[in-house]
Amino acid sequence: MLKILHRIINITGKYKTRIRASYITAFLKGIMMKLPLILSFICISLFMSGEMDSEKCIILGICVFAGVVLEAVFEHISNVLQSATGYMGFADMRLRLGDHLRKLPMGYFTEGNIGNISSVLATDMVFIEENCMGVLSELVSFMISQGLMVIMMFVMDLRLGFLSLVIVGVFVLIGNLMLRTSVRHSVIKQEASESLTEEVLDFAEGIGIIKSYNMLGEKSKRLSCEFTKSCKESIDFEVAYGPWARALYLAFGIGTAAVLALSAYLYSTGSISDVYMVGMSLFLFDMFVAIKSYYGQMARLTVTKASLDRIEEVFAAEELPDEGKSVFDPAGGDISEIEYDDVTFGYTDKDVLKNISFKVDAGDMTALVGPSGGGKSTIASLLARFWDVKSGRILVGGKDIRDVSLGSLMDKVSMVFQRVYLFQDTVYNNIAIGRPDATKEEVYEAARKARCYDFIMQLPDGFDTVIGEGGASLSGGEKQRISIARCILKDSPIVILDEATASVDADNERAIQEAISELCKNKTLLVIAHRLKTIKDADQILVVADGNIIERGDHASLMSSNGTYAHMVSLQQG
């Protein structure tokens, strides 16, 4: 339990001092919780001894009132120090997670981790901040209160004190066994929750395909199975937790009865006075309430352990190194010159690129062609440092891209993907992502050059129109032109094109080609081509297959060599 509390405190970062400060108010609150009982015992003692008078009665009444008020004050301070701090701490944690995800290699997001990230954000963090942060100081209060009650028993009689200590030990033993069971089942429960999240995301993202192939029944069945599995694991958790909870309540009843029986025996033998027997009756039913309440929080804290494990697992994912201190110096060489020097790369142990070497002069266009899965997209992605090379190096402007910061590198590179993603925001903001400090007129001019200004002005609110997530409310060609507009606005010297016209109709293709022409003026181009007619004028064409460059040259020389490229062109023409 203490380890879990320590981990919760550690993840709150700079706010951990405030949470630890709440322990002081929790300690004072724990004392104030038992103060009315202690004062009641003193009051009864004075009455039974005949020493009570109006002055003492007033003083005791004031003390009880002050204790109740102070308990409320200390509880309020604890809530401010821990609950509010918890929300602030997890707000910072979400920002840290966003920054962490930004620095991870793209491979992390293609290895089935999207559901895990969604569960961490939507389930684990929310559960901890809403269910656990508010009970940290309460647990301290419970421990303090239980300690005071045991001390009171020792004050009354050593035998009562030792019996109370033994009963508390039994509570601790049962509680620890309950903790082990709960931890084991909470891990399974949270894994089922993650699996359910992944299935829901998969169902939502693929609903178009599911409907078109009339697979609603099959996919709905899989989704229903995940819901059933999640429900079963939640019930199994409660079933495993229930017997230990009942054992705690049984220990509470037996312990209370044992203390009462021993008190009655000691009173009958004259070992304790009438006053102590009355005081014992006063304390009896509050004797073990604190420790029972302490372990009553066990279930949520064991789920918290599983949540903490998953949060820490995401944060433990290895980031791409970003320790480069070098900067691009236009005066020292052309910053748009690209060179791949003996580059080898593999997503796993198997290499997908093998000893790739080529150079792209400033202002030139190099096209990558070849069969699917040959490594074209990987070559382009390595230039943007979506991953790091296994061996060799990639140079931009004569500098190894690992020696410059990621931010500095990405300022020099723009990418237009075949699959465009637009954010659920205004059209204006989706374009302005390219350069957030751009003026409104610069954004409008980029839209004109990208041939999307006219259709944007026909939208209900023009540039202020909010488009659906992923650009769902726009056609593929319209989304593509908006993505080109943001690249034009960015005005980077290097442009990577992943066949931007491969999946659009003829009318949009013409507009997109015009937009790309505007984007590519005076730029160094690395083009992934599927339609070979678009790269006839390339300065250099690289044919990539099985992770190797098997042919290189311009269109004319490759056609005359009658190799793989010439065969691909003849197939497309046919």
Digit-coded pLDDT (tens) for 215-227? 555 556 777 787 7
Q: Which is higher by pLDDT, 184 or 246?
A: 246
Q: What is the pLDDT of residues 19-62, one digit of tens each?
A: 778 778 877 887 888 788 788 888 888 888 788 888 888 998 89
Torsion over CA: 487, 488, 490, 492 (sign): positive
- pLDDT of the residue at 440: 92
- pLDDT of the residue at 137: 66
Is the pLDDT assigned to residue 120 strictly greater than 90? no
Cβ pair 559, 399 in contact under 8 A: no
Mean pLDDT confidence for 89-105: 86
> Within the chain, which residue ranges are assigned CATH 3.40.50.300?
330-573
Q: What is the pLDDT of residues 416-425, one digit of tens each?
A: 877 777 888 8
Length of the chain: 574
Full-model pTM: 0.63
Instruction: Give residue for tokens 């382009």.
Output: 380
- pLDDT of the residue at 393: 92
Q: Looking at 131-140, 462-471, 553-562, which range is the least confident one?
A: 131-140
The answer to whether domain 2-316 has CATH 3.20.20.70 is no
Mean pLDDT confidence for 353-369: 90
Q: What is the pLDDT of residues 430-478, one digit of tens each?
A: 899 888 888 999 999 989 988 888 889 998 889 998 887 666 678 878 8
Q: What is the mean pLDDT of the chain?
A: 81
- pLDDT of the residue at 25: 81
- Here the tokens at position 545 are 């297959």
- Here the tokens at position 456 are 């944007």
> Within the chain, which residue ranges are assigned CATH 1.20.1560.10?
2-316
Whole-angstrom distance, CA of residue 128 vs CA of residue 182 = 16
| Nearest in space to 171 (alpha carbons), one of 61, 36, 289 | 289
- pLDDT of the residue at 342: 93
For 330-573, CATH number out of 3.60.20.10, 3.40.50.10490, 3.40.50.720, 3.40.50.300 equals 3.40.50.300
